[in-house]
Amino acid sequence: MPHVLKSNTAIVTGAASGIGAAIAEAYAAEGADLVLADLDRDGAERTAARAREFGVRASAVQVDLTDAKATEKLVAEAETTLGHIDILVNSAGMLTEVPLIEMPVRTWDEMIAADLRSVFLCCRWTAPRMVRRGTGRIINIASQLGIKGGEGLVHYSAAKAGVIGLTKALARELAPSGVLVNAIAPGPIETPLVDGISADWKQAKQAELPLGRFGVPAEIAPSAVLLAGNPSGNLYVGQVLGPNSGDVMP
Ligand SMILES: NC(=O)c1ccc[n+]([C@@H]2O[C@H](COP(=O)([O-])OP(=O)(O)OC[C@H]3O[C@@H](n4cnc5c(N)ncnc54)[C@H](O)[C@@H]3O)[C@@H](O)[C@H]2O)c1
């Protein structure tokens, strides 16, 4: 079986951990050269080292993706390193749990910056380069909570609903230029992101899932390969894939 992403290049954000790390490894296994961006330099470097074992080029960049100038620099340098950018995966994000009636305004602002502004910024600097080349794939990691909402997660749900809206609007803008934009909205996945969520929530959540269990990052990565691949991803435009244990059925 040929490597479906051979000769492709990708920026993967949030690649130090969890879903971003799993996508980076899956892309490396499929032959893509990578720039891996994260706040966590050591974690990103560990993922890059695992990626290089597949024989691809992979480098790690420490960056705060809420910072407009730093993100612009990341994308410009990634283009230099990789030669061009075929694929952008926006997986960086964070999660906190606070009821709205107790939520500090700063907590709201931090969430919107980390989980929505970062996606806008990475798209903002990458999309023009893809449009110039007349080809590209952007894959945004949203969440099923952006569709159904979650208690104590008003800020997270709003940010992820924003990612879904951004994905659909940008998909309409860019499809005529050959750039395909889609989202993946996972259900609960076992990563450090959900470590901070209460045990009660996790137990109740697991019980209500038709599949009866959370997913693992390696079960999300194949959706990102599908959306990036040619021809597997060619007809997906503004779609929201739902590997979510049956939590949301559109
Ligand atoms: N784990 C889940 O249950 C779940 C479910 C649905 C959606 N998601 C989404 O999947 C994505 C990945 O989450 P994960 O579960 O792999 O979490 P994770 O905590 O394992 O990984 C997230 C990574 O993003 C990085 N990051 C956060 N803010 C950043 C910033 N400002 N700049 C640069 N890097 C930053 C972190 O350092 C971390 O390495 C997130 O967008 C998350 O919202 C996760």
Q: Which tens digit of pLDDT belongs to each residue from 220-238?
A: 999 999 999 999 999 999 9
How high does pLDDT run on average in the chain? 97
**Residue 217 Cα: closest atom of ligand 1:** 16
Q: How far is CA 25 from its chain centroid?
A: 14
The closest of 51, 40, 23, 39 to 141, measured between CA atoms, is 23
Residues in contact with 26: Cβ distance below 8 Å, sequence separation at least 6, in sequence order = 218, 221, 222, 224, 225
Question: Which residue CA neighbors atom 1 of ligand 1 most closely?
Answer: 189
Q: How far apart are CA 121 and CA 126, in angstroms?
A: 9
172-209 per-position pLDDT tens digit: 999 999 999 999 999 999 999 988 777 887 888 899 99
Query: What mean pLDDT do residues 145-164 have?
Result: 97
CA distance 234 to 238: 12
From CA 233, how far away is CA 175, in angstroms rounded? 13
Residue 33's nearest CA partner among 82, 102, 104, 66 is: 82
Cα dist from 196 to 96, 104, 139, 248, whole Å? 7, 18, 26, 23
- Asked whether 89 and 23 are in contact (CB, 8 A), the reply is yes
By the 8 A CB rule, do 151 and 99 touch? yes
Distance 2 CA to ligand 1 centre (A): 30
Q: Report the share of the chain in percent with pLDDT over 70.
A: 100
15 CA distance to ligand 1 centroid (A)? 9
Average pLDDT over residues 241-245: 98
In the residue annotation, 27 being an active-site residue is answered as no
What b/e readout covers 97-106, taking b as 16+ CB neighbours within 10 angstroms? ebeeeeeeee
- Closest C-alpha residue for ligand 1 atom 38: 14
Distance CA(141)–CA(164), nearest Å, equals 9
Which ligand 1 atom is nearest residue 67's CA? 31
- Centre of ligand 1 to C-alpha 95, Å, is 8
- Contact residues of ligand 1, CB 6 A cut-off: 14, 16-20, 38-40, 43, 63-66, 91-95, 114-115, 118, 141, 143, 186, 188-189, 191-194
14 Cα to the center of ligand 1, angstroms: 6
Cα 41 to its chain centre, rounded Å, is 18
End-to-end CA distance of the chain: 33
Q: Pick from 191, 213, 216, 219 the residue to mutate for probing ligand 1's pocket: most ligand atoms within 8 Å of its CB.
A: 191
pLDDT for residue 1: 59
Question: Which residues on neighbouring strands pair with residue 137, listed in sequence order?
Answer: 87, 180
The dotted CATH code for 9-240 is: 3.40.50.720
Residue 90 vs residue 204, higher pLDDT = 90
Mean of pLDDT values over 156-171: 99
Pairwise CA distance, residues 143 & 188, whole Å: 9
User: Which atom of ligand 1 lies closest to the CA of 21?
Assistant: 16
Q: Which of 27, 156, 214, 236 is catalytic?
A: 156
